[in-house]
Every structure is written in C-alpha cells, then in structure tokens.
Structure 1
C-alpha cells in the first residue's frame, strides 16, 4: 500500500554519500528529493487542505506518530507512576492495556555484581490503520478502508535502555530502512508465519511484536526484555493532555509534505501540529529519515523535561487523562501487562536525571545493493556493545564522557617468577561443586606447578581473594595475571605459599569476570555518526534543511524558501 503523504511504502532513508543530496528528476525540468518520494501537491491544493482546520489540513503519515508514539510511552509510564486514584480507576486503566507474549525471543538481561538488572524495552511505532481514527490520522485508507493488523510495519524502532543502577538511560533509534536478517517467526495471535529472510527491518512486525523483538535482538545482540507498541490514535490526545511540547527551529520552515509551517524560533506544539513536526523529514537535516530522527529526539527530550519540571504529574486531571489515553493506545508484553507493572517501570524511568538520558541513532551506511536502503555502519557495533554492556554514554555530570578507561586488571610488569615454579592451593568458597578443580586445572594447563592442589574453603566466601606469604608478591602477581584477577583481590598473609579462595563473585569459567563498574563510552568517538544528545539540552533547535528538499507548484526549493513563498498558508501553531 502506498502512503499518500510520505511516498510509496518502502521508500527509504537517503544514503548520504555527498554533502548535498542529489535531486532526482520527476519529469523533464522538475526535480525531486533524493529518496524518490512523490512531490507535494500545488500550493493552492496544500493551502486548501490546510485551511480546513487541523483535522482537514494534516493527514499524518504512517511515520507521523514516530516521536509522539515514543513520547507517549514516556507520558504514560510517568503518569501511571503518579496516579493515586481509586480501585475503579485502577481497574479501568488495567482493562485498557493489551498484552502479548514475548516468548523469550529477546534474550535475557544479566544482573550486575550487586544483583541489579538493566531494563531494555523495544518501543515500536506501528503504521497500522486498524481503526477509522487511525485512518484519518495516517491517511492511505481511501481505497482500502480500515486495515487488519497484519499489514503493519514498525516504522519507529527505539531501544530504550535503563541502566541497572537507574542512574542513566540510552534511547537508540534504528532507522526503519535498515536491511537485515529477519529470523523465522510465527505470530500466535494472527497465525502468520515466515521462514527466515533478508529484508527491511520494519517488516518483521507483520509477523507479530515478538518477531520484531527477535529481529532487533539478532541485529544488535542487545537483550530485549520488553516491548511497547503504540498506534497513533491516542498520541494526539496525549500531546494535548500534557499541554503542548516546546520546540525550536533554526530557521523559517515549510515542509510541503508534512505541512509543518513554523517561523524561526521557539514554539509550543499540540495535537496535529506536533504530529507535523515529528513526521517532518524534508524540513530538517539533509531531508532524509536520518535527519528526522534527530528532530524526534529533540521532541522527546522536551517531553521529558516538561514532565519532570512543569508539575504535570501533580495534577490529578492531567495524570488521569494521560494514563487513560496512553493505556488505550498501548500493546505491551505480558511482563508489563498491568498498571502495577507499568507503575514500577515508571518509577525506574523517573529516577534517571534528564542530563543522563542520552539519545542516539544507530550509525548506518548506504546499502550497496539499493541506494534507498541502509545497512549497519561503522561505529554501530560499539554502540550496541555499550548498550548491551550497560555502559553510559554520559558522565555523572551529564556531559559526554571520555573514552572508556581500560579494565582494572592487574597490570604489573613481566613476572619475575616462572609459572612452573609456582604452586597454588585453590579453595572452593562457593556452593558450586567443582569450582576449585576447574580453576586449578586451568592453572596447571598454563604451566603452573603440578603441586597445585584443591580443597574446600573453611567458610563460604563472597569475594575471590589470592593470599600470598611474605616475599611472594611476584608469584602472586604471576598467578593473578594468568587468571585475570585484579590486583585489588590480592592480600598478603602471615603464612607461606599462595592460597586462592574462589568466591561467589566467580561462579563459572576459568578467567575471573570483570565485575568492576562499567566504564562510560565516549558518545563522540566510540559511537560516531550516532547524533548523540541528552534530554537536558533545552536550547537545541531543529536544524532546518538548507537543501531543495521540498517542492511548491512543482518548483524544488528549500524549506525556508517555501515558507516565504507560501504566505497564504498559516503557521502550524497559528
């Protein structure tokens, strides 16, 4: 199905191989934006649509609800966390939520050394027109009518990572036109199934949310605990319920595709005007989906700042309106399928300061087989590893962090004592049978003395320690280096010889796990081209495109030129 507002379905994120996007000819003498989307109607027809009121003027696309859908989950979760209404309200909101089993397809998060577990949520913005309201907002239903859920694509995908200690969060956007392997999937709800195939990542949603989760997990290696899927019917109501969202644009802008028209400077956008802002691709950046992602991040940052500072969550009427609208729009996994569970998640989200909320976009490169598609680019694996490893992209003060520091393993000079002359007594201080034997075998396998022995520790041990006698520090460092044991685990004792007590912090393997606090990744160098920013950047303005990415009366022009030419079209926030 074609999307009348944003070009044919599947038209893609532009591959940025030159400083200025190449314009494609629509017909002799007429230029088109690089991504091949159909140009807008004439100014008079645009104005006619625009003047019919917001409902008539703006027919948002399947992409329209992108940032607002994501903003919607933030609104919903925080609102639910604050609501204190009675049992009826609880039951009413609980009844609004639709839940689907994830079937364990997203992997499992691992707890840190203190038993705390990170949270990873895949936030999905569906393009389905499954109601008359969705059709009105999304367009594209004139001939097909209300569609079934099986036609939906995931035109928004954001991995929301909340750290194990709840001190920081990362929101990573995955461009919808990324080409990847989709695993074999079957949707228990609809009965649709597929063999594994290579295709556009957003197509996996056609086989159920669990399939979309499995696809993202397979691409990134990031465990995905939960998903939240939103349509765009309730999103407009939520943007109104929060009282509008403050945004800023760097110049006059008129995107003739999304109908966003704003003068340079700050604005407060509600409802359809907010949709026009977050769906605008041709108005900002280089006129591509990648540029639009950064604009969406600015919008979401503004949403979070407002929720945290404007007293929204202390207003019972606003709280209920947000919660009611949001839960009606939500489909979640079973583990989030109640108000109580969403409240818990809301409290976790609310613990993260705005300055520690980092927004990024997966780095991409042009797909060699199709210039209208993208593939994983340089730096993406570093970003995936940072998220999967629970490493923050910000420092404690909220600034971009320095390059990750090396692990705190023992870094002594070359050992002065050969391993063959060192015997170690290995004691099992865990409740796991065979731990001492496994570590001792690893030592002798590396050339340590066959006199190495094992036994049970006299008492359970929480931490692993290596105790050495007087004058045996060099031997201890040799053993520690072989085992990957940090220097901080070494102790000088009163007896002779080396005694290694394997504690509860080393439950498996023959190399000591690095349980040191995760180092921060550098959002400027470790994840290049990821458009990293934090939620407290209140003065950031969306950069209006300097290229001829829009068209008015068939004439290609910049969004600022279009603003000047369309004097009869009122601004979106008028």
Structure 2
C-alpha cells in the first residue's frame, strides 16, 4: 500500500482539506510555488522585502576570515601577556636600601644613571660549577666574589656614556654590611674589593660608592652561565686577538685574528687574565672592554633588534641571566634602560680602567692611583670623556700641564693619608659640610669644618710645609686649578670654599657653569686628559681593536712556564675554543 503523502512519482501532493506537515501557509509570511522555493519574504505589514538570495562564496570567506582574525588577536594577546609574565618571572632582584647614594638632576631636571655591572665567580649551581671548575672537592658552593666590576654611567642628556672597570685586586675599605638574604654580616674591614659581594650585592655597591664617590643607583649581576646565555642569544660576539693565545687557566685557545665566540668560548675570553696584557686583572679589563664593545655594536646592528625571534631570544636570555636591584625588576624597566643605552652613539661610549698603583704591602694587589680621582670626579659630575664627534675631550694646555704635574708629584700620597679642614666662605649654609662629605666619599680624611673668618670670593687650598704633594692630590680630586693652591705658615690642609663655588662637589663643574670667576684656568673645560691618562681608554666604535696577547710567561703547560703563544703552539692536540 502506497504512502498517502506520495504520488506515483514520489513528489509531494496536496490533499484537499489537509496540510502537508511542516509546510507554512501564505499567512505565515512565505508563499511557495510548486517545488517549495521561497520567492518572497514578507516584512512588516505583509509587504514583500524582496527576494532572498543564498549567501555568496566571497561573503562566506570574509566571515570565516574575520572569525579567524578574531581568534588570532585573542591568542596573540594571550601569548603576549604570557610572554610578558614569563619574562618578569625570570628576573631576580634585591634592594639596595639606599646604600649607593642618589643621583642629582641637572638644570633641566634630567638625571644621570649609574649602574654597577658585576660578574660573579660564584659556583652556586651545578651549571656554574661545570663552567667555572673548582667544585670537585667542595661541590656546589655558597657565596661569591665580584671578579668583574664596571660602573656604567649614562649622562643625564643621554648623549654619552662611560664604562669604568675597577680591577678585582684593588684593596679598599669595605663598610659595615648585612646581606638580607643570607644573613651574613660584617662590621667592615680593609680588603680586596671583590670580596664585598659575599655580604650581598648592596654591600658591593656601597663599597664602590665609598671608594669612588660616584652615586650608584642600580646594579646588574651575571654569573658564568649568564655570560654563556647572553653570548648565545646575540648570535655570537666577534673579537680579535693580536697573536695565537692559549690560556691554560681559563682554557681560552684561539689563533691570531678575528673569531666569533659563543657560549663557553665567550666565557673563556672574558675570564682570561693570563692570556692578555701583563697577565694580571688589568689586562683582562681591556679585553673585556673589547668584548663588550663588540656586543654593543651587535645589539645596535641592523636586524638584531628588529627580528622578533632575535628579540625573544635576547629577552628570555637576559631576564634569566641577570640579577638586578628592585629599580630594574621588570621587563618595562629593563626595556627603558636598554632604550637609554641605545640612544648613545657607539663613538660616545667610552671604556676606561681605573688607574692603580702597586700596593706597598702586597705585590699581587693594587691601590687607587692618583689619576683615578680625576676619572671618578668626571663621572660623578656627569662630564663626558668624548666630544660630540667622538674624540677625547681636551682642556686648555695650561690646565693639562698643571694637572699632569700634580698627578705625577702626588702619586705617592694616597687619599686615605690626607685630612682636610674645610671652611665656608660663601655665606651659603652647609657648603663646608657638603664639600667635606664629598672629600670623605673619595677616601680623604676630615680635620673638621667651620666658617671662614670673613666671606671670600675665590676658593683656595692652603697647605703647610712639606705638604704640597698632598695638596695637589686634593686639588686633582676636586678639579681645583693649581693656581688656587697656597703655601701657609701653619701645618695641615685648609680648604676655604669661596663664592665662586656655590654648589656641587667639583670646583671645575661649578666654575664652568658660573661666570663668577673668569680666569682662564677656572673656566676651562673638564680636564679629561687627566681622567683618561693611563686608563686604557677606548670607544665602542673601534671595531678593529685586538686584544693584546701577553708577551710574558704567564701560563704553564705540563709544568713548564710559557707565553700564551708558546702554549698555543705546544698544545697541538687541544682544539681551539671556537672549533
């Protein structure tokens, strides 16, 4: 029996008096011709709104694309947020507790930045034990020394920067410190400067601030594995060595010429102290400057900071590699710092090593040299070591000669052996105390402060019999011209601050900024020749500089003393570091 709804041909038929199930009537807004196709749709009031066509293929594609784009935006935003949080989570930070001093803004309200960059020798993880060695008997260790110390100064106007290395073998006073994390503390002592890190990063910062008088607002610390990560992330750093070199202690082995160093090879290069210079830490600072200059050029090179993959590698590696103060404890803050550094042209980034003198008590240690005071003062007073063209700044010949003579004569008188009485002749409350504090911050002693008998216009430094050399040391540290030194009938040193020095801790900076005293010696530019004398100064744009391999027998191979070049020739089976 056939289905009552189907005709012989299987098409739907209408039965009088009945409705086909599910079929709308005309009153329901649609009229169907035979076959059921919709020919019109009724709008309000029963009027037709025109034919309804099927959605075109193009419109379907557009709607699909819009949906995919929306999903992509949501996913990208989520990934970006995850990446940002991931990087922030990598960063480890500590508070400085104000131990590094505070920078002062310039006349336009701009503030310089001073950062202590530290390279730790700590073997506080299995990775660092493997990279640094020395853990075979002790295993993973606690505590570390700051074997690399560099003060990075970025000027208030971001037009120039200075990187000053402090040799790790420098002997100095370490102030009373307590490490908030480990609880280790010290009442203070006289010792090697790099040891202060054992009492926390803030202690190392405080020690550098006390030694140099330079306010240090931030710190950045890397360990062995951090150097490896950073050099890998940047794609390797190109360096040049002047001769074949094999440092049997750091294991650096390179042939004469240019090499691109990554990972462990980069670490071997920056750790090598027996391979370069005289085999001491002084030679190592110079080779480190060459390495950092090349890394800066690589960062600034076309493509490095515009390649998303490279930026990710750098960001991830940097945040994992660095320990910082709480003023740099976020990706946003680190990006702002990187932007400040990026504003400075490479020709105006100056590298220098703090001038030193042999320690009378230990031939293997050094003390601050007299020339270092000029370098400290230049940085503390935010004065550039290069001109706008990237050349070394120069002073008038008279000032240069006077300072050079003072430096040579005063080299045997350390600041710690000199006490100065400071008198205020300006009429400005607190001037004597401010200058006295600046002097003690630079290592000098204090014989008291007070008011001058009467107001004075010109600042003078009076010294007693046999104390001319000491007076010149003080004058060099303060930027006081030799013409302002006077020999008096009494003993000791007395500095009378005149109205020509109304503010600041450097006479040179004040006299340059003020027309109060117009004598040629007082209005000359900063004497940067004294600041960079014997400081192995270089700029970051010097791409052709090669690390000077030591000509001395600074290494041993199979118990035989050799030069690094001789060791390279003898160690034929030892692969090169960049092999």
2-structure distance, mates of 1:368, 1:443: 38
Measured in 1, the distance between the counterparts of 2:269 and 2:498 equals 57
CA distance in 2, matches of 1:246, 1:181: 38
Aligned to 1:132: 126
Matched, 1:230 2:222: yes
How far apart are the structure 1 equivalents of 2:113 and 2:396?
22
Q: Which residue of 1 aligns with 2:337?
A: 345
2:102 corresponding residue in structure 1 = 108
* Gap change, CA 1:516 and 1:565, over 3 Å in 2: same
- The CA distance in 1 between the partners of 2:112 and 2:140, in whole Å, is 39
2:537 corresponds to which of 527, 532, 548 = 532
What is the aligned partner in structure 1 of residue 419 from structure 2? none
Superposed displacement of residue 529, structure 1: 1.5
Paired residue for 1:543?
548
**3-state SS in 1 of match to 2:206:** helix
Partner of 2:383: 391
Instruction: Tell whether 2:500 aligns with 1:484.
Output: yes
Q: Which has the higher contact order (CA 8 A, sep 6+)?
A: 1
Residue 168 of structure 1 corresponds to which residue in structure 2?
A: 160
Does the CA contact (< 8 Å) of 2:273 and 2:283 recur in 1? Answer: yes
- Where 1:281 maps in the other structure, the secondary structure is coil
Task: Calculate the TM-score normalised by the size of structure 1.
Answer: 0.66
| Aligned counterpart in structure 1 of residue 146 of structure 2, from 141, 150, 154 | 154
Question: CA–CA distance in 2 between the matches of 1:538 and 1:133?
Answer: 32
- The aligned residue for residue 325 of structure 1 is 317
Partner of 2:195: 203
Pair 1:402-2:394 in alignment: yes
How many pairs align? 407
Q: Over the residues paired in the alignment, what is the CA RMSD in angstroms?
A: 3.1
Q: Deviations over 1:268-313 (max 9, x none)?
A: 1111111121111111111111111100100000000111114211
Aligned partner of 1:569 in structure 2 is 574
> CA–CA distance in 2 between the matches of 1:573 and 1:175?
27
3-state secondary structure, aligned to 1:285:
coil
Q: Contact between 1:112 and 1:515, CA under 8 Å: does it hold in 2?
A: no
* TM-aligned CA deviation for residue 569 of structure 1: 2.0
1:393-432 correspondence to structure 2 within 5 Å? 393-403=385-395
**Structure 2 stretches lacking a partner, 5+ long:** 1-77, 400-426, 432-450, 458-496, 515-522
Partners of 1:236 and 1:272 within 8 A in 2 = yes
Q: How does 1:14-29 map to 2 (within 5 A)?
A: none
**Range with greater deviation from structure 2 (547-556 or 174-183):** 547-556
Tell me if the contact between 2:372 and 2:531 (Cα under 8 Å) persists in the aligned partners.
Answer: no
Aligned twin of 2:294:
302
Q: Residues of 1 paired with 2:368 and 2:272: CA distance?
A: 24
Deviation at 1:483, TM superposition (A): 4.3
| Bigger CA radius of gyration | 2
- The answer for the alignment partner of 2:84 in structure 1 is 90
- Match of residue 246, structure 1, among 238, 251, 264: 238
Does the 8 Å CA contact 1:180/1:199 hold for their aligned counterparts? yes
Quick one: which of 107, 115, 123 aligns to 2:117? Answer: 123
Q: State whether residues 230 and 321 of structure 2, in contact with CA within 8 Å, keep that contact through their aligned partners in structure 1.
A: no
User: Is 1:312 aligned to 2:304, yes or no?
Assistant: yes
Instruction: Classify 1:548/1:91 alpha carbon distance in 2 versus 1 (closer, same or farther; 3 Å).
Output: same
Aligned match of 1:375: 367
State the distance in 2 between where 1:276 and 1:310 align.
Answer: 27
CA contact (8 A) 2:374 2:530 kept: no
Change in Cα spacing, 1:132 to 1:405, as seen in structure 2 (3 Å) is same
158-167 or 187-196, larger mean C-alpha shift: 187-196
2:205 maps to which residue? 213
Structure 1 spans left out of the alignment, 5+ residues:
1-83, 408-434, 449-480, 486-504
Confirm or deny: 8 A CA contact 1:166 1:351 kept in the other structure.
Answer: yes
Q: How far off its partner does 1:530 sit?
A: 0.8
CA distance in 1, matches of 2:314, 2:429: 58
How far the C-alpha of 1:146 sits from its partner, in A, is 1.5
Give the secondary structure class of the aligned counterpart of 1:312: coil
Instruction: Give the distance between the partners of 2:203 and 2:247, measured in 1 at CA.
Output: 34
